[in-house]
Structure formats: structure tokens, C-alpha cells
């Protein structure tokens, strides 16, 4: 669905007019393509407070392939090491480091603050580190021009060694529609050596709901990253599914995920095991609770949540999802903010968040598998094209980037979770919503 307003603000007269009226100023986002694989400029590496991870962070930043500098006239990214900030005085150093340079950041730039998990034993450290969350969320709302801002938290005493894949993702065009996020890392070392250009080579990924929309885009990005993909959708979508499979050289599996034997049939389609399981299939059956019959409630909960719980449990128990495996589920900002007419949908998506947070640490300890979720905001799909015009326009503009996301934005986030290098990313829910004001 074309965003005509975004096109208008892309012209000089359109910009003049909309600025004069005080309207939002979206800019076209620079997304990944073979021609634009990285940010266009150097990374500025700054430090606030006494850091003990300077050398490790410099190494992790060098692995992004971008030139890293301590001074840069026009940086494409700014990384502020705030791991040593443990007091209000330390927070003043955050201001001192960023205040003079934020304005010099190139359009579409990235700001990543590196912090530590707030301590349960030192409330001064906890206050200072939690303060960084409010700081990045506010800065993300101020910077404009397609800039994104994040906080990456290292464990209490961890090094940035496990942060490589996360920094590569955040400091690249792949994260164009992700902003204002807090990502908590563990110490887990990458699962295997891999080629950053094709990190999923030799891996099998199964994507549910992949005949169209976001799922088809996820399948396409995972195939781009080297995976053999199994695309799954309901038998009624067989034709679209076959087309997606042909385009990607993927295997098609026509299956309703609510079927009692769904997990067994998923495992049978991947005799060598499933390395990446993407629960993307989802349905809406909107009605206000007072008008909602039990069958509409049950259908949404069954597809969006219960089948995710059942198939994940069975595939973990049978070993079809084994060491180094990745589960990526799909929540929604409706599951965080709630939405009128969507008590069933929002309950199912909030349930996904509960599942991820609880199962993540246990699945890693018992099976060597990570469990994460994406929470899309307003994504330009046939689902959102059907939304009435005024509500659609509000959905598009009510975020820091003042535009809707594309299916590929969700797909890039899934691909980051899926990488062998992302073992330290576990139990996380990443909003892909341009820093939507809803549920912020």
C-alpha cells in the first residue's frame, strides 16, 4: 500500500508545506540491499564513566566492518559506552558525551548506548543504569531524520564479546524500522563459526504462515541468509504457498498449525532437524468483548498462542529442535498496549510475551535453544491496507519515524534472532514499530 504522504514529504515543496503546517516529517528509510549493505560513514566510539570493556567493545565494533573513530565530523553511528555509569554524576558524563555530537549524526544514523543490567544489590548503580532507558527512549523521539536510538545491556560483569551480532544488526540498515529498544544480553558465546554474509548456511528454518505477508518476507530473508526454508501455511493457501516456495527454492508444507499432529508433521518435513522455528501464522477476529462469541475468542487463542505453545513443547521434547536452535515467535504492540475490539488478539499476543520470557532461560539451559519474539507495530500489509483511512493514517504517523514499517523490517529482526551468533539474545521481545507511541 503506497504511503503518499511519505512521497509528498520527499519533495521540496511538500516538505515546505507540511513543515509550515507543523505536520510529521517522515524520511525514506535506508534499508538493506546489495547496494546499501551498511551504514554510510564512520562509527564514533565514546565513553562515559570508567569503563572496563573499552578494548572488548572496540573489537566488537571493528567487526561491524565500519571505520571506528574517537572523533568524526559526520558519523553514521554513535556508540556510547555507559557501562561504567553508576551514579548521577556519571549520568552527567552521558550528557557531556552526546550533547555536542548528536547534531552531527548523518541522516538515518544510529545511536547505541551500551549499559549494564541494573543491579539488585546496588540501588545507585540500578538508578543510573535504569535512567539510561528513559534517556534513549526520549532521545529516539527527538532525533528525527530516520535516526534510531537503542540501549544494549550487558550482564553484570560480562564483556561485549557476545554482543557482536546485536551490534552488527543495530548498526546497519537492517534495523531501519526498529527504535527505542532495550536489549538485554546474556554471556552465551556464539553457537558456531559462521560467515556474517550468509550466517544461516547449512541451517533449516521453518516459517509458519509463510504463503504471504510478513511470513513470506521472513522466509525470503532467511533464504537470503543461506537457510534451507520450509514454508508452512493452511491447505487453503496452497497456491500462494507453492509460489513462495518456488521463488525461494523452499519446501512447501500445507498444514494447519492447530492440527493435533502439527508438530509431528513439522518434524517429518525436516528429517535432519529444525534449526530455526518461526511462529508467524496469526489471525484476527475482532469484536468488542460484549459482542464476541466464544468461538471467535477460541479461534484466535488457538492459532496465535496455544498452537505455538504445543508445537514448541513437542519439538523441544522430541529433539527436533536441538542445540543451537532458535525459536522466534510473533507478538504485536496490541499485546503490549491493548486495542479496542481485540481482547482476544491482544490476549494471545501478550501470551506470546509471557511464553518467551519464561521459556527462554530454561530452553537455553536444557536444550541450548533461544526463544525470542518480534512485536510488530504498523506494518504495510494487506491486513493494515484494510484498516479505514483515518485510523490507518494515525497508525502510520504515531511513531518516531512517522511512517509504517515494511514486512522486510520484521523479517530482518527475525533473521538477527536466528543467527548462530545471537546465542546471547534470549527471552527478548523486540518491537518493530518505529518506536510507536502505543504502549511506549
Residue 234 binds ligand NAD, judged by CB under 6 A = yes
Residue 330 binds ligand NAD, judged by CB under 6 A = yes
Residues 236-265 close enough to bind ligand NAD by CB under 6 A? 237, 256-258
Q: Which of 135, 345, 416, 417 is catalytic?
A: 345
Nearest CA to 181 among 416, 421, 420?
Answer: 416
Give the total of residues touching ligand NAD (CB under 6 A).
27
CB of 213 to ligand NAD, least distance (A): 2
Contact between 69 and 42 (Cβ < 8 Å): yes
Residue 303 binds ligand NAD, judged by CB under 6 A = yes
CB of 26 to ligand NAD, least distance (A): 17
307/314 Cα distance (integer angstroms) = 10
Cell of 389: 483511512
Residue 355 binds ligand NAD, judged by CB under 6 A = no
Residue 353 binds ligand NAD, judged by CB under 6 A = no
Pick one of 381, 399, 426, 435: the residue that binds ligand NAD (CB under 6 A). Answer: 381
Pick one of 378, 424, 425, 438: the residue that binds ligand NAD (CB under 6 A). Answer: 378
Residue 177 designated active-site: no
Contacts of 231 (CB under 8 A, 6+ apart): 207, 210, 211, 215, 216, 219, 241, 244, 245, 248, 250, 251, 252, 253
CA angle 355, 360, 366 (to 5 degrees): 120
Contact between 321 and 367 (Cβ < 8 Å): yes
Pick one of 23, 269, 301, 383: the residue that binds ligand NAD (CB under 6 A). Answer: 383
Pick one of 26, 75, 282, 351: the residue that binds ligand NAD (CB under 6 A). Answer: 282
CB of 376 to ligand NAD, least distance (A): 4
CB of 345 to ligand NAD, least distance (A): 7
Contact between 119 and 85 (Cβ < 8 Å): no
Residue closer to ligand NAD by CB (options 217, 370) is 217
Q: How does DSSP assign 360-413, residue by residue?
A: HHHHHHHHS-EEEEEEE-SB-SHHHHTS-HHHHHHHHHSBTT-S-B-HHHHHHH
180/377 Cα distance (integer angstroms) = 13
Residue closer to ligand NAD by CB (options 44, 346) is 346
CB of 237 to ligand NAD, least distance (A): 5
Residue closer to ligand NAD by CB (options 129, 400) is 400
244/393 Cα distance (integer angstroms) = 30
Contact between 406 and 434 (Cβ < 8 Å): no
Contacts of 361 (CB under 8 A, 6+ apart): 426, 427
Residues 200-219 close enough to bind ligand NAD by CB under 6 A? 208-209, 211-215
Binding region for ligand NAD (CB under 6 A) out of 50-58, 100-108, 155-163, 278-286: 278-286
Strand order in the sheet with 204-208: 251-254, 228-233, 204-208, 274-279, 321-330, 370-376, 429-432
217/207 Cα distance (integer angstroms) = 10
CB of 353 to ligand NAD, least distance (A): 12
CB of 372 to ligand NAD, least distance (A): 15
Residues lying near ligand NAD in the complex (CB under 6 A) are found at: 208-209, 211-215, 233-234, 237, 256-258, 280-283, 303, 330, 332, 376, 378-379, 381-384
The catalytic site residues sit at 345
Amino acid at each position: 500500500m503506497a504511503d503518499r504522504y511519505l512521497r509528498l514529504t520527499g519533495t521540496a515543496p511538500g516538505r515546505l508545506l507540511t513543515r509550515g503546517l507543523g505536520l510529521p516529517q517522515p524520511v525514506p528509510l535506508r534499508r538493506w540491499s546489495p547496494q546499501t549493505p551498511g551504514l554510510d560513514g564512520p562509527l564514533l566510539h565514546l565513553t562515559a564513566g570508567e569503563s572496563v570493556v573499552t578494548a572488548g567493545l572496540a573489537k566488537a565494533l571493528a567487526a561491524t566492518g565500519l571505520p571506528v573513530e574517537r572523533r568524526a565530523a559526520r558519523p553514521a553511528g554513535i556508540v556510547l559506552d555507559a557501562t561504567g555509569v553508576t551514579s548521577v554524576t556519571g549520568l552527567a558524563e552521558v550528557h557531556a558525551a552526546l550533547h555536542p555530537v548528536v547534531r552531527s549524526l548523518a541522516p538515518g544514523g544510529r545511536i547505541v548506548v551500551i549499559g549494564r543490567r541494573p543491579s539488585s544489590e546496588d540501588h545507585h548503580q540500578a538508578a543510573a543504569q535504569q535512567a539510561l532507558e528513559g534517556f534513549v527512549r526520549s532521545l529516539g523521539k527527538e532525533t528525527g531524520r530516520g535516526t534510531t536510538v537503542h540501549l544494549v545491556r550487558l550482564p553484570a560483569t560480562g564483556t561485549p564479546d557476545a554482543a557482536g551480532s546485536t551490534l552488527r544488526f543495530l548498526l546497519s540498515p537492517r534495523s531501519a524500522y526498529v527504535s527505542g529498544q532495550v536489549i538485554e544480553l546474556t554471556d552465551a558465546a556464539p553457537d558456531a563459526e559462521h560467515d556474517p554474509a550468509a550466517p544461516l548456511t547449512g541451517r533449516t528454518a521453518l516459517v509458519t504462515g509463510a504463503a504471504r505477508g510478513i511470513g513470506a518476507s521472513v522466509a525470503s530473508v532467511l533464504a537470503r541468509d543461506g537457510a534451507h526454508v520450509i514454508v508452512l501455511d493452511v491447505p487453503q493457501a496452497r497456491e500462494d504457498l507453492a509460489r513462495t516456495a518456488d521463488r525461494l527454492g523452499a519446501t512447501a508444507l500445507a498444514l494447519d498449525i492447530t492440527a493435533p499432529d502439527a508438530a509431528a508433521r513439522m518434524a517429518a518435513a525436516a528429517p535432519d532437524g529444525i534449526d530455526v522455528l518461526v511462529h508467524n501464522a496469526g489471525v484476527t477476529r475482532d469484536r468488542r468483548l460484549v459482542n464476541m462469541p466464544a468461538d471467535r475468542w477460541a479461534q484466535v487463542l488457538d492459532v496465535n498462542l496455544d498452537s505455538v505453545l504445543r508445537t514448541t513443547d513437542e519439538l523441544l521434547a522430541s529433539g527436533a529442535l536441538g542445540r543451537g536452535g532458535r525459536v522466534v515467535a510473533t507478538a504485536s504492540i496490541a499485546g503490549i498496549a491493548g486495542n479496542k475490539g481485540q481482547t482476544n488478539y491482544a490476549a494471545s499476543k501478550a501470551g506470546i510475551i509471557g511464553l518467551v520470557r519464561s521459556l527462554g532461560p530454561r530452553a537455553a539451559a536444557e536444550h541450548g535453544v533461544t526463544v525470542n519474539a518480534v512485536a510488530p507495530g504498523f506494518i504495510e500489509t494487506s491486513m493494515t491496507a484494510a484498516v479505514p483511512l483515518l485510523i490507518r493514517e494515525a497508525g502510520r504517523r504515531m511513531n518516531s519515524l512517522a511512517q509504517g514499517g515494511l514486512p522486510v523490517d520484521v523479517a530482518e529482526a527475525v533473521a538477527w534472532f536466528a543467527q548462530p551468533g545471537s546465542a546471547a539474545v534470549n527471552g527478548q521481545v523486540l518491537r518493530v514499530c518505529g518506536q510507536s507511541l502505543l504502549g511506549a
